[in-house]
Amino acid sequence: MKGRFLLGAVAGAVVCCASVAGATTITDGSKPAGSGAVAVATCETSTLTFPRRAIDNSSSHYVTSMQVANIDAACSGATISVELVNSSGTGLAGGSTTVSGTTARVSFPSTAPAASVTGYVVALAGA
């Protein structure tokens, strides 16, 4: 399988560093905490957006899923992974799904309180 791997880190002071053959790392520290958009390479040439997060009704308001939008059609069949991170870049929860179309809904275990999520680390593999 031709694997293409790409990372994007979004938000505040979150910085993701990787040096992998065929990998591209993009950071965007200009976006407000908890949201953002990054342009990525390979099959993705436009800017990913994160228009909505779902939270549960618990007292911690855990993030249970997130929509990733503006995915290029060329990425259909790729796996998209999203890691929710806090202000020090520590992963709080992660999930992945197969891209089908131009949006993807990534689900997470209930381990990331919404108030603690200040950024996302996004990876596309495949396609």
Task: Give me the residue spans of the domains in the chain.
Answer: 5-125
Q: What's the chain's length in residues?
A: 127
Q: What pLDDT digit, counting tens, does each position of 14-63 carry?
A: 223 222 223 333 333 333 334 454 445 478 888 889 999 999 999 999 99
Tokens of 55: 């939270």
Beta-carbon contacts of residue 77 (< 8 Å; ≥ 6 apart): 98, 99, 100, 126, 127
- Pure H helices in the chain: none
Tokens of 49: 């957006």
Q: Which helix (H) or strand (E) holds 66?
A: strand 63-69
pTM of structure: 0.67
